Structure 1
Amino acid sequence: MTDPAHSHVQTQRFTYADYCTWPDDQRYELIEGIPYAMAPAPVIAHQQVVLRIAAQAQNALKGKPCQPFVAPVDVLFPQTSESGNQSHTVLQPDVFVICDPSKIERQAIRGAPDWVVEVLSPATASRDHIVKRRIYETAGVREYWLVHPEDRILMIYRLENGVYGKPDVQALTGETPVGILPEILIQWDEPE
């Protein structure tokens, strides 16, 4: 099979059904029918931040209905007229939480997570800031965090009346509660 990111991109819109046939040796996200190759394996600092956030979320949510996940997990954002296999948008957020168990299927999540965290890498930062933010906002992700590990900055978008307002910008120090899931309190600094 040819690389879907370089074949007929201008004329063909791919679906989740197409996406499922692509080889496993290259990861993609599908945005409005257009495949985007995921960056090569992220730097270690990126993965350390992802693991730290995910572990704290998992500990905080033990015994509760909401469940945390980490990439790679396919999250489908079907339009109302699309079946899941016909979805034109499939993302793999770094960390996310699902509170509605009916969205969890055997091979993918179908529908918007409640909380999404993207840890920025230079290769994907603009996509996370612009394209994914728009998708998450439109789909109804209630809280979206952009973590800048190099700059030690956190940008928090909260959905209010169906839109994200200006982000709440904070330093990655101390602790930050998840607004929609206050039982999750992310500690940024290593314990002494």
Structure 2
Amino acid sequence: MNTVVQQRRRNFTYGDYRHWPEDERWELIDGEAFNMSPAPSRQHQDVVVEMLRQTANFLQGKPCRPYVAPFDVRLPKAGEADDAVNTVVQPDLAVVCDAAKLDQAGCRGAPDWVVEVISPHTAAKDHVRKRELYERHGVKEYWLVHPLDRVVTRYVLANGRYAQPLIEEAVGRTAVACLPGLEIDWEFLNPPDDTRPGPAG
């Protein structure tokens, strides 16, 4: 697979993607393949797990469902057959409220809320390519969480376009506009005070 991607960067489809080795993780954006290795950092995973926990607790008994990567989200053009789809992404966190979009392969169509936790090797793709992609396919709300800087950038869809980004410190609580009542509590980003004196000598 690696050799093929090096030779031909575009025009891959979900039909190709389904036959790639299961121990490799890739995303397709408009037919271009992006290798998702190396594995995310521990801090990245801590953020994803905590955001999933808070979201899943809030959604208990509600129709919306949260998913974390690896979870394939296919973003087809209107009427496009699965094998012809050339965009398949694996958001760090995705919430899907329309059960008709869910199948055994993952999600076909835009989730309602998508979160990407920024890593150095994904920052440009997440801020530019994925922002444009999620806007085009109608993702209602897109968050980019910067754990090192403790900043969250939020895009909310209005009339088919993302409004100006809301860039805020990840402190206190931040409401999810498309899921009224859900607020992410950022307390987990504040490490415990580790300045306690050591044992007396």
Tell me the TM-score range normalised by the shorter chain.
over 0.9
Partner of 1:142: 140
The structure 2 residue matched to 1:153, chosen from 151, 154, 169, is: 151
RMSD across aligned positions (CA)? 1.5
Q: How many residues align?
A: 190
Q: 2: distance between equivalents of 1:160 and 1:2?
A: 39
Matched, 1:57 2:51: no
- Alpha-carbon distance, 1:6 to partner: 1.3
Of 120-129 and 35-44, more deviation after overlay is shown by 35-44
- Alpha-carbon distance, 1:2 to partner: 5.0
TM-score by length of 1: 0.95
Q: 2: distance between equivalents of 1:58 and 1:39?
A: 27
Question: Counterparts in 2 of 1:79-158, with a 5 A limit?
Answer: 79-158=77-156
Compared CA separation, residues 76 and 187, structure 1 to 2 (3 A): same
SS at 1:97's partner residue? strand
Matched, 1:5 2:5: yes
SS at 2:34's partner residue? strand
Q: 1: distance between equivalents of 2:5 and 2:147?
A: 28
1:25-62 Cα offsets, whole Å, 9 max, x none, are 21000011111101311111110001111110000000
Unaligned runs of 5+ in 1: none
Unaligned runs of 5+ in 2: 193-201
The one-letter code sitting in structure 2 at the alignment partner of 1:165 is: A
- Identity of matched residues, %: 47
Moved over 3 A (4+): 1-4
1:141-183 Cα offsets, whole Å, 9 max, x none, are 0000000111100000000011112111111111111011023
Partner of 1:14: 12
